Amino acid sequence: MTVLIDHEVHEGWTSWMINDHIPEIMDTHCFESWKISKVLGADESQGINYAVQFVAPSMQKFEEYSDLHLQRFQEEHTRMYREKYVAFRTLLETIYEGRNDLANR
């Protein structure tokens, strides 16, 4: 999910995401890991851009999350930050993941 969050609430949003919202999402046991990244080089005149990424162990687990939990978490986010953010979601499939293994060739 990429989120443009209003300057006046971004610190509270970040804290809420890390301490409350994401732990609740992780408690669904549909994801293995998560991370929040700040989008660099983006226009920050309207707010700050963040990328929030969750890694599911399988498409089945992602679909379980989508079917059973997504709407509740979206509604909570909207209720807390209505008119203070713009977001879009992107579903990615990892085709290769490496850690410096190519550098030793």
Reported as a single tens digit per residue, the pLDDT across 71-101 is 999 999 999 999 999 999 999 988 888 877 6
Identify the pLDDT of residue 98.
80
**Domain limits for position 29:** 2-104
Question: From its phi and psi, is residue 28 left (phi > 0), alpha (psi between -120 and 50) or beta?
Answer: alpha
Res 103 pLDDT > 70: no
The amino acid sitting at 11 is E
How many domains does the structure of the chain reveal?
1
pTM of the model: 0.86
Contact 85, 13 (CB under 8 A): yes
Q: Average pLDDT for residues 25-36, to the nearest whole number? A: 97
> Could you tell me the pLDDT band of residue 102, with boundaries at 50, 70 and 90?
low
Contact 36, 18 (CB under 8 A): yes
Q: What is the CATH number of the domain that holds 25?
A: 3.30.70
Q: Which residues contact 38 (CB under 8 A, 6 or more apart)?
A: 48, 49, 50, 51
